[in-house]
């Protein structure tokens, strides 16, 4: 992977991480189209580049993470809910790490997941029309756990961590904005754990050149993710998910055509 490829993949990560369109799926396809070698560092970069996106959430919501209204009591509750919500992903990620790595090589999995997820998003707004939770403080530990279970679906490339956790939040009666923001918050421990585990597992492939690519990629992802998060929250408050649904279905269909023609490997 060269510098230009790393920057392009990082831009894709920053743009797509918090939109319900699957950042991992888009990065996998981008890497294949750019001809990036499918080696151990590429797999590490695909996961580790999420660190920049994590920091974007913390930067935008720093008061929520460090100085929430209500002081230490609310801070403890906030962290506790995130801990409860991240447990399912930690457990499944630990025991299914090899299977997940195998799926990261599959363009066909990404294409099918994009289409199926797009069809689901077409009906989300009509399915959950009467939200009852309009503040993060109202989220119960039980709801946090269920949202965490929904998030686990995103271990299949193309599903989208953002989409699955937002749908989980809306299924638990959160309104769209709160479901999206809780999805952002949940991304921090989830992606930090995934990145840390992958770094430890793949430490042998890291050299001075790779460290530079990793650092530049994360910086780019950080800046782009900040812009994407601000856009998504504003858009979601006034619109539903249909635009993202149509996008997923179109992109997934195009990918299937590319795979069928042999332009893109399976």
Inform me whether the pLDDT recorded for 13 exceeds 70.
yes
Domain-embedded: residue 136: yes
pLDDT at position 149: 93
Q: Which residues contact 171 (CB under 8 A, 6 or more apart)?
A: 128, 146, 150
In angstroms, rounded to a whole number, what is the distance separating the alpha carbons of residues 120 and 173? 17
Task: Give, as one character, the DSSP assignment of residue 174.
Answer: B
Domain-embedded: residue 177: yes
**Residue scoring higher pLDDT (198 or 5):** 5
Domain-embedded: residue 203: yes
CA distances from 24 to 199, 200, 209, 232 (A): 17, 20, 23, 18
Give the count of domains, the chain. 1
Domain-embedded: residue 41: yes
Inform me whether the pLDDT recorded for 68 exceeds 80.
no
Inform me whether the pLDDT recorded for 255 exceeds 70.
yes
Q: Picking from 29-33, 55-59, 225-229, which range would have the lowest pLDDT averaged per residue?
A: 29-33
Inform me whether the pLDDT recorded for 187 exceeds 70.
yes
Domain-embedded: residue 266: no
Inform me whether the pLDDT recorded for 259 exceeds 80.
yes
What confidence tier does 99 reach under pLDDT thresholds 50, 70, 90?
Answer: low
Give the residue numbers spanning the domain of 135.
3-261
Domain-embedded: residue 158: yes
């Amino acid at each position: 992977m060269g510098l230009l490829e790393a920057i392009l993949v990082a831009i894709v990560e920053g743009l797509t991480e918090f939109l319900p369109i699957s950042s991992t799926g888009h990065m996998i396809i981008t890497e294949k189209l750019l001809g990036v070698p499918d080696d151990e560092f590429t797999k590490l970069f695909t996961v580790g580049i999420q660190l920049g996106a994590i920091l974007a959430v913390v930067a935008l919501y720093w008061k929520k993470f460090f100085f929430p209204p209500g002081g230490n009591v609310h801070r403890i509750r906030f962290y506790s809910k995130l801990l409860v919500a991240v447990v399912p992903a930690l457990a499944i990620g630990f025991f299914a790490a090899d299977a997940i790595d195998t799926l990261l090589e599959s363009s066909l999995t990404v294409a099918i997941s994009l289409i199926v997820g797009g069809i689901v998003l077409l009906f989300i707004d009509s399915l959950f029309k009467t939200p009852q939770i309009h503040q993060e403080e109202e989220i119960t530990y039980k709801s946090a756990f269920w949202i965490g279970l929904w998030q686990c679906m995103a271990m299949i490339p193309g599903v989208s961590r953002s989409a699955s956790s937002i749908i989980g939040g809306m299924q638990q009666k959160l309104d769209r904005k709160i479901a999206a923001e809780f999805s952002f918050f949940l991304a921090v421990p989830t992606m930090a754990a995934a990145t840390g585990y992958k770094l430890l597992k793949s430490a042998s492939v890291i050299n001075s050149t790779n460290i530079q690519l990793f650092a530049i990629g994360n910086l780019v992802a950080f800046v782009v993710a900040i812009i994407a998060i601000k856009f998504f929250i504003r858009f979601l408050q006034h619109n539903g998910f249909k635009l993202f649904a149509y996008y997923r279905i179109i992109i997934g269909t195009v990918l299937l055509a590319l795979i069928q023609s042999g332009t893109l490997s399976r």
